[in-house]
């Protein structure tokens, strides 16, 4: 890069905008341990009792839950801080994204759920993403959705994750703009969103000199979605879906992106669409590349 751009060599990076970077021979570990400690102290939760997952499984949060109103300023400050922490902690992405929907009128139940994320962070304070060197950096991703997960408007949640063979580096958890009439439609909309991201990432890699010439595979656990992306005969079942999502068929036909089936048990993006029980949550967290910090001098 020094041959292409005018720049100064400041040697190895260790700290940048609250992100700690530890570079070793066998990989790079990034985390926000110090930031997390300051966050826990700010909201008086440092050394609090820990929990195993960010959210309680099967707990449905809604805008009007009948509980007392929480302090809006404190709640928004907490959610904003957690959103910045998702830079290195995608395991709290879904929980934080879900609670951000209630920032206009938060209740004590919402605030209690947010403090639950802090309890989870207390037990995983030194966790981060471990990136290992790869011989063949091939881009591929995962896409998933939770059909009608929002109890307020029955909209679904889309989630995706992309990697080049090590820890994930691009992820999202977002409520869909329209109501899906079936789980297949919800998965199809999520796949279209993932495809947009895949095409953008391929262009970024091209600018960096790492061209992704092969078809980008996106793993999906819904066979109907894969069939709709490949077979235009499904028009009678998909004509109500917004046209903007059907470009997925075009890029599939051009072999830019290909949807492939994967078992639900292996669907990493599931962690971005719903609250999960502890065993599955921890399994998917490991698959994301999120692990405890282990520097040679400290191990």
Instruction: Answer whether residue 203 is part of any domain.
Output: yes
% of the chain exceeding 70 in pLDDT: 93
291 located within any domain: no
Report the pLDDT averaged over residues 250-271.
88
**Do both 95 and 138 map to the same domain?**
no
Q: Where among 86, 106, 128 does a domain terminate?
A: 128
| Range with lowest mean pLDDT among 22-26, 110-114, 292-296 | 292-296
The single residue listed with the structure tokens 């011989």 is 135
As a whole number, mean pLDDT of residues 250-261 equals: 85
Q: Are residues 215 and 119 in the same domain?
A: no
> Is the pLDDT reported for residue 237 higher than 80?
no
pLDDT digits (tens, 9 = 90+) for 157-166: 999 999 988 8
pLDDT of 219 higher than 90: yes
Kindly state whether residues 177 and 235 are assigned to the same domain. yes
- Quick check: is 4 in a domain? no
Residue at a domain's end among 128, 148, 180: 128
Per-residue pLDDT tens over the stretch 72-122: 999 999 999 999 999 999 999 999 999 999 999 999 999 999 999 999 999
Query: Which CATH number belongs to the domain containing residue 226 in this structure?
Result: 3.30.420.10
Report the predicted TM-score, pTM, of the whole model to 2 decimal places.
0.88
Residue 279 lies in a domain: no
What is the pLDDT at residue 297?
Answer: 46
The beta strand positions in 90-224, using DSSP E, are 127-131, 140-146, 157-163, 170-175, 216-220
- pLDDT at position 252 is 79
User: Whose CA is closest to 36, among 73, 97, 91?
Assistant: 91
Burial 107-135, CB ≥16 within 10 A → b, else e: bebbbebbbbbbbbbbebbebbbbbeeee
Q: pLDDT category, 299, cuts 50, 70, 90?
A: very low
Greatest mean pLDDT among 114-123, 177-186, 213-222 lies in 114-123
Does residue 9 have a pLDDT over 60? yes
Answer whether residue 238 shows pLDDT above 70.
no
Same domain, 121 and 178: no
224 and 160, same structural domain? yes
The helix (H) or strand (E) run that includes residue 82 is: helix 72-85
Which residue, of 128, 161, 181, is where some domain finishes? 128
Residue 281 lies in a domain: no
Our CA angle for 78, 83, 87, nearest 5°, is: 140
Number of domains comprising the chain: 2
83 and 152 in one domain? no
Query: What does the pLDDT read at residue 194?
Result: 93
Clarify whether residues 139 and 123 are in a common domain: no
| Residues of the domain holding 202 | 134-262
């Amino acid at each position: 890069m020094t041959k292409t751009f005018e720049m100064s060599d400041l040697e190895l990076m260790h700290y940048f905008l609250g992100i700690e970077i530890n570079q070793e021979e066998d990989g790079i570990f990034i985390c926000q341990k110090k930031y997390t400690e300051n966050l826990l102290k700010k909201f008086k939760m440092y050394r609090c009792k820990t929990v195993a997952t960010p959210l309680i499984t099967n707990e449905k949060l809604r805008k009007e839950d009948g509980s007392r109103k929480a302090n809006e300023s404190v709640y928004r400050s907490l959610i904003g801080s957690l959103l910045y922490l998702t830079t290195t902690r995608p395991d709290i992405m879904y929980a934080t994204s879900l609670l951000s929907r209630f920032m206009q009128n938060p209740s004590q139940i919402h605030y209690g759920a947010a403090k639950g994320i802090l309890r989870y962070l207390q037990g995983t304070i030194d966790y981060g993403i471990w990136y290992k060197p790869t011989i063949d950096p091939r881009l591929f991703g995962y896409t998933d959705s939770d059909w009608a997960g929002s109890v307020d408007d029955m909209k679904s949640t889309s989630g995706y994750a992309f990697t080049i063979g090590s820890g994930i580096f691009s992820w999202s958890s977002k409520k869909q703009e329209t109501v899906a009439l079936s789980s297949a439609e919800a998965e199809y909309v999520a796949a279209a969103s993932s495809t947009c991201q895949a095409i953008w990432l391929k262009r970024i890699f091209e600018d960096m000199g790492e061209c992704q010439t092969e078809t980008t595979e996106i793993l999906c656990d819904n066979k109907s979605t894969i069939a709709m992306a490949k077979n235009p005969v499904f028009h009678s079942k998909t004509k109500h879906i917004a046209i903007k999502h059907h470009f997925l068929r075009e890029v599939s036909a051009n072999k830019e992106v290909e949807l492939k089936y994967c078992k639900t048990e292996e669907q990493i993006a599931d962690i971005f669409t719903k609250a999960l029980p502890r065993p599955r949550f921890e399994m998917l967290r490991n698959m994301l590349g999120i692990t405890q910090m282990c520097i040679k001098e400290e191990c």
